[in-house]
Chains A and B, each alone.
Chain A
Amino acid sequence: MSMKNIPDKSNEKWADLIQGKLNVPLKNFFFQMKVTQLRTLFNEGKISLDDAIDDAYNLCVKFSNAKNMSNDIEAIFGTTVNKTQTVVENNDVEKPIIDKTVDKKSEIADAKVVFDNEYEKRMAEILRQKKEIEERLNKQIKAREEAEKRAKLEKKRRLMEMERINMKREINEVKKETYQPKEIKFEKKEVKKPVSLNEDAKMKEIERQKKAKYRKVKKKPTKGFFQRWFNL
C-alpha cells in the first residue's frame, strides 16, 4: 500500500474514527492500539480532534507497509478511496464565459439559461458544503460538551471509588491492630476411666500412630510467597 492510497486528513471519516462514531474492527495491532489511545485522549480532552487526526494520519503513512494496514484503511474508507475533498468556502463563484460573437437573441437567451443553471448548481453545491461544515462543527461542539459532562461524572465516581478503596484499607489496618485472640475457657469435665484394652487393640493403635507420623512426613512443603500470589 502506498501513501497515495491513504485518504487526506480532511476526509471526515478520520474525525468519525477518532470520535468513535465509526466503529470498524481493525486488524493491525499497532493501529488498533493507536486508535484506542487517540479516542481515550480525545474523550478526556487531552488532545484536540485536529491533532488526533494529524497523529493517526502521520503514523498510518509511516507504517503504510505494515501487515493488514491496507485492509484497515479499506475497511474505514471503503474500497474506492475518495480523493482530497477541497471545501469551497468562498462564495464568489466564477461565472461561465459567454461567447460574445453570438448575436442572435435566441442564442443569447439559451446561453443565459445555461449560465443560470450552472450558477444555481454551483451555488447549491456551495450551500450544501457550507451546511455540512456547520453541521460538523456543531457535532464537534456537542461531542466536546458531552465529553466534558462525562469527564465530570467520571471524576466524581473516581473520587468515590478511591475513597472506598482507602476506607477498606483503613478498616483492614484497624482490624489488624485491634485483633485480640479470644480468651479460651477450660471447663472441668468428668474424666472417664480408660477402658482396659486388649493387646490386639493396643497394636492397632500403635499402627495407626505410625501411619499418622508417616503421613506428616509426606506433607507438602508450605507454599512460598509467589506461589500464594499466583494462587497455585
Chain B
Amino acid sequence: MESKLYPIDEVKSLISQGHLLALAGDERVISKLPKGNWIAGTIPYFMDVDKALFTQEQVYVNKLADASENFKIKSFNEDNIENILDDAFYNGFSFVIIPAFQEVHSAYSLKMPNVKNLYDNPVVGWISGIELNSNDIPKVYNGQTGEEFEDSAVIAHVELPKNKMAQLDIVNIFSQDDKSPDIQFFIDSFEVVNCLINGEEKNLAEYITENNLDTKLPLIADYTGASINVSIKEVDAENGIVSFFAPVFANKIYKFAKPINNYVSEFEINVKQLEEKNEFSCNCVLNYFYGELEGKKINNVKGPITFGEIAYQLLNQTLVTLNIYEK
C-alpha cells in the first residue's frame, strides 16, 4: 500500500482491512472515520506524491503494520510520559503523535531525552497542528477506542520479525555557523532570559536584536555528530525573553545556523543519503513556510508537514524518516 493522501472513502476501506495505520488530516475528516486499528493527528499540510500542498479534504495514510503483526496502541499524558516505552517490543519501533502547545508536548520534549530506555528501539512521530489562520485546536486520536484528545498523546508499539530492523534517520539542511558564538543556557527550558554567550552572561533577546540576527534560522547543538535544531518562536525585546519551539538544554553548546539560500535544493542534496523508499517521513511546518515549499516536490519524500518532528526526542525544522529493512 502506497503512503499518500487518500479520499475519505478509500481511507474507510483501508481501515476495514485491519492493518495498523498512522493517519494525518484535518479534524473535519479524521473525526468522520470509523473505529479501527489506527492512530491519527490533525494537520492540513502535506508532502504528497507530486507536490507539497494544503488540503482539508484528504487523509495521509501510512501503514505501520499488517493486521497479522503484533502491535499495541496506548494513550499517555504528562504524568506517565517516562513509562510510555515500557510496553514496547524487544525488536520493533514506536510511533507517537502529540498535540501541539499542550503540557504533554512540553513534558515529552523536556523529560524524554533522559529516559533510559528511549533508544532501545526507534521512536518516531510528530506533533499535530492546525491551519495557521484558523482557531482550531490540535488533536490526536486513538482509532481503536474512538477517543479524541487535546491534552493527551497516542503511541503505537509495533513488533518486527527477527529478520527485520527499524532505523531512524534525519535530514537537517542547517549546519552550525562557524562565525556564531558558543551559546550555553542555565536551565532546560522553552524560554530564556540570560545565557552565556562565549562564556559571558548576556540577555539573549538583546543580543539577537542588537546583532539583527535572522530568527528564522535555528540554534543548533552538536549531539556527537548529529545537528539538532531548536527554532526560535519569539523574541520579546521589550521584556527580554526569547521563546523556542523546542526546549534548549543546559548541558549543550548551541550555535546559530548558517543562512540557507534555497530550501528545496538543500533538501534535494541532503535526501540523497536516504533510502529510496521509507516507511514514514515528516517535515517541519517552519520549513514549509520559510522555504515556501507549497507546490514543490523534494525527491521521493512524502508525509505530513508537522508542528514538530519526533526522532526519539522533539526536533525542529528537520525532516525525519523511518526505514525498515532486512538484517
Please list the residues of chain A having a beta carbon within 8 angstroms of any beta carbon in chain B.
23-27, 29-37, 39-41, 43-44, 46-47, 55, 59, 62-63, 65-67, 154, 157-158, 160-162, 164-165, 168, 171-172, 221, 223-227, 229-232
Contact = CB atoms under 8 A, between A and B. Distances in A.
A30 B186 contact: no
Contacts of B118: 37
B186 A230 contact: no
The A contact surface, by secondary structure, is helix
B282 interface: no
Nearest to A23: B224
B67 interface: no
Given A25-B225, A32-B225, A232 B132 contact: yes
A30 B122 contact: yes
Contacts of B286: 230
Interface of B: 113-114, 116, 118-120, 122, 129-135, 165, 167-170, 185-187, 189, 191-194, 215, 223-226, 233-234, 239-241, 249-251, 285-286, 289, 311-313, 327
Given A24-B225, A36-B226, 16 more contacts: A24-B224, A25-B224, A26-B225, A30-B167, A32-B226, A36-B224, A40-B249, A41-B114, A44-B251, A161-B189, A168-B239, A168-B240, A172-B239, A225-B135, A231-B233, A231-B234
15 contacts: A29-B311, A30-B122, A30-B312, A31-B224, A33-B312, A35-B224, A39-B224, A65-B165, A65-B327, A161-B186, A168-B239, A224-B133, A226-B131, A230-B286, A230-B289
Contact of B193 (A34, A67, A165): A165
A190 to B, nearest CB: 39
B135 A59 contact: no
Given A26-B224, A65-B327, A37 B193 contact: no
Contacts of A157: 186-187
Contacts of A225: 135
Given A33-B226, A59-B120, A171-B239, A226 B134 contact: yes
A171 B169 CA distance: 44
A155 to B, nearest CB: 10
A29 B114 contact: no
B291 to A, nearest CB: 13
B223 A66 contact: no
A39 B253 CA distance: 14
B225 A164 contact: no
A27 B167 CA distance: 13
A161 B193 contact: yes
A161 B192 CA distance: 8
B161 to A, nearest CB: 14
B170 A29 contact: yes
Given A26-B225, A161-B187, A161-B193, A224 B132 contact: yes
B194 A161 contact: yes
Nearest to A158: B187
Contacts of A229: 132, 233
Nearest to A72: B225
Contacts of B191: 165
Contacts of A63: 165, 167
Contacts of A32: 223-226
A63 B131 CA distance: 39
Given A46-B114, A162-B187, A225-B135, A29 B226 contact: yes
A41 B165 CA distance: 27
Contacts of A37: 113-114, 118-119
Contacts of B313: 33
B193 A232 contact: no
